[in-house]
Structures are given as structure tokens and as C-alpha cells.
Amino acid sequence: MNIAILDDYLGVSQQVADWEGLKSRANVFVFHRPLALLDEAACELADFDILCTLRERMPISGELIRRLPRLKYIVVTGKRYDTVDVRAAAELGIPVSNTPVSGVGAGGVAELVWGLIFAATRHIASEDRGMRGGGWQTQAGTTVGGKVLGILGLGGLGRRVAEIGRVFGMEVRAWSQNMTTEQAEAAGARFVSKAELFATSDIVTVHLALSDRTRGIVGATELNAMKSSAYLINTARGAIVDEAALIAALRSKTIAGAGLDVYEQEPLPAAHPFRSFPNVVITPHLGYFTKDMLGSYYGDAVRLMESFLDGRPERVVNMGLEPGS
């Protein structure tokens, strides 16, 4: 039995989880480079029985699945499995499992959200660069106390961000398509319309899941309604924010700046405007990328693969799918 651990660029999978039991039962091979092309992936993975992906780094298309004659099982680390064609796998009798949601994840992302907020509002990255070049105090920052924090989406992560915002003395306002006044109040927030949230918030942070309903939900209308002193923070998914509209808003200084951890295309292209805007703090999708979270992901993935080898696959997300349904 051959197992492929995909897209482990930094080789962390073997450091953060115990693989010894699994390695005594199967051959485990770690891919440290992306397999971006279909033909390359089909060739490299032809002899593997199990694929283990790191989040959504590598799409597992139906065409790829059909070109892997030995494939028997797919494990996705993390809750979401949108990048795996689960229907194609089901049609071939290949179970797909995802790892459980961990409290470590929401906490880690919430920490990054606040890191981006402070990096943007206090100009930490640009002041650091300035000092390394011999400079000193190039621009004054702003504080968050007494300001309005607007949150799109009050799931587990949004609620954590709201809680921290209140500690800093912020007024928290929230909106999502399905939110109720009672849900917002339970999180210590005030439910407002989307238009009011963008028009009145000093910081808007995005915590929606990407879907057909939320794709591009933050566009030119919303960005143009924001205060010129306001900041947009996105650690959710890049496609939730209309990227062209955000570039235009940043270039024209319609908004003061942004803190971004996610992008429409990842990795972010080398010549992308976000890399050169002085009013943007960018990080390479670090929200989940902590040793703690990776340890949780890979530890759970190991247990799922061991259960599969025992003949009792767990957390299967696709076996109820009917072809064409």
C-alpha cells in the first residue's frame, strides 16, 4: 500500500504528527513540490493507493482521479473539500474523508486577523522596512479603541474576532445573509445591514465561507461606501472580495488600506499589484499554517488512514452521492 502526502512544501507533516504506526503498514511518500499539471500528477501518482492533501493546495479533479488506477482513498486535511471532485470519486467507489474541525484552527486564524489589523493600522510592516533603511517614524498610526469593527459572518471564527474586538473597546457590528438579530446579540454584536456595515465601520473583516452566494459579495459598491480611513481585512477566501475592485480602491486610496491573507490565485503571482502597494499588508495564507494546526490536521489524517486500512473508513463525505445528482 502506497500513500502520497501532497504539497508539503516545507516538510512539516513528518515533524508534527506520529507516522510510525502507519509507516509500519504502508509506504509513505511526501511530495515537497506542487504537481500543478494534470499529466505530471497522473504520472507521479499512478502507483499510489491513498492521497492525503494539505487543505485545498492541490485540486483533485475527476479527470485525475480517473487516471489513477490504484487509487482507493482520499483524505483532505481540514473541513472543506471543494477542490476534490467527490462525485467522480464516489462513482469509482473511492471514499473521501475530511479531518475534524479543531478549536486550534479558529484560534490561530483569529490571532492572525488581529495581527493583520494591527500591522495595517499601526503601519508595522512599512515602519520596519523604513527602519532597516535608516529611517525613523514615517507615518502616524491609528488605534482601535472606540472604533467600529464590522464583521461579515459570525461563525466560530467571527465570534472569536468579535470577542477580542470588545476587549479592545470596539463597537462590533455584524452582517451575513442568514444572520439574525438574536445571533448577533449572542456574540456581543449589533446586527446591521450590509450597506450600514460598510459605511460605518473603521475596520471590516471577512469571515464568510466561499460559495456561489458569497463569491464577489464585497465589490466596488461596498468598497466605495467605506470610510477613506477604513481598512479591509480578508482571511477567508480571496474570491469573496472582487479583486479588481479592491485593487482600484487601494490604488485610488478610496480606503486607507488592507490586510490580506488569501487571494483569488494562490500562490500570489510575483508581479501582482498587492505586492507593491504600500498600504497593504500581505501574508501567504498563514491563517491555518501553524505547527499546532498542522499537527491537528496530520494527526487526524494518520488516524483516518489507519482506520481505512483496518477496513472501517471514517468521516466519509461522498458515499451518499448518486451519480449525476
Share of the chain above pLDDT 90, in %: 89
Contact yes or no for 28/1 (Cβ under 8 A): no
What is the pLDDT averaged over residues 176-190? 97
In the set 25, 33, 266, 275, the catalytic residue is: 266
pLDDT score recorded for residue 324 = 44
Beta bridge partners of 174: 151, 191
Please compute, for residue 272, the number of CA atoms within 13 A of its CA located in the half-sphere on the CB side.
16
What is the pLDDT averaged over residues 310-314? 96
- Give CA separation, 58 vs 9, 12, 81, 135, 158, in Å: 12, 17, 11, 42, 27
Structural domains of the chain, with CATH: 2-101+291-309 (3.40.50.720), 103-282 (3.40.50.720)
**Residue 323 — very low, low, confident or very high, per pLDDT cuts 50/70/90?**
very low
Give pTM, 2 decimals: 0.90
What is the pLDDT averaged over residues 128-156? 96
274 by DSSP, 3-state: which?
Answer: helix
Which burial class, exposed, middle or buried, applies to 275 when counting CB atoms under 10 A from its CB (0-12, 13-18, 19+)? exposed
In the set 243, 285, 312, 315, the catalytic residue is: 285
Is 285 among the residues known to form the active site? yes
Q: What is the pLDDT of residues 237-267, one digit of tens each?
A: 999 999 999 999 999 999 999 999 999 999 9
Calpha distance 71→196 (Å, rounded): 50
Question: Which residue, among 240, 174, 175, has the nearest Cα to 213 in the 3D structure?
Answer: 240
Is 272 among the residues known to form the active site? no
Segments in 168-313 forming alpha helices (H): 181-186, 194-200, 220-225, 243-251, 291-309
| pLDDT at residue 151 greater than cutoff 60 | yes
Question: Which residue, among 194, 198, 201, has the nearest Cα to 176 in the 3D structure?
Answer: 194
In the set 207, 237, 315, 322, the catalytic residue is: 237
